[in-house]
Every structure is written in C-alpha cells, then in structure tokens.
C-alpha cells in the first residue's frame, strides 16, 4: 500500500523506543550501583573495618 503525503503526516507513534528503554535501564543501574557502593563504604567506616591508605 502506498501512502500519500497528507496520510504520512498523520502517522503517530514510536514514543517509547528500545534505545530510550535501554538508556533508562542503564541510568537506574548506575544509580543503584552508586548507592550500593556508598552504603558499603559507610558501613566499613562506621564499623572500622577498612584498610587505611598508606
């Protein structure tokens, strides 16, 4: 089926793409990892079980 120009202008869609979902997923994963590392560092500092830098 061939569309005319005015019919093509009426086409909508594609608001959520796989690239968009992938970017959001990576952002959430990055925030999660930063929180995990921060929590781990705070736990080691509070409990005193960290290696001092020589």
- Does residue 53 have a pLDDT over 70? no
- Does residue 54 have a pLDDT over 60? no
Contact 50, 42 (CB under 8 A): no
- Phi, psi dihedrals of residue 21, rounded to the nearest 5°: -65, -40
Question: Number of helices (H) and strands (E), helices first, in the chain?
Answer: 2, 0
Length of the chain: 54
- For 1-31, the pLDDT digits (tens) are 888 888 888 888 778 889 999 999 999 999 9
CA distance 34 to 38: 6
pTM of the predicted protein model = 0.59
- For 32-48, the pLDDT digits (tens) are 999 999 998 899 888 88
């Amino acid at each position: 089926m061939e569309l005319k120009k005015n019919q093509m202008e009426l086409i909508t869609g594609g608001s959520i793409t796989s690239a968009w979902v992938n970017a959001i997923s990576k952002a959430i994963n990055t925030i999660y990892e930063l929180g995990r590392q921060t929590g781990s560092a705070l736990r080691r500092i509070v409990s005193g079980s960290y290696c001092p830098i020589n």
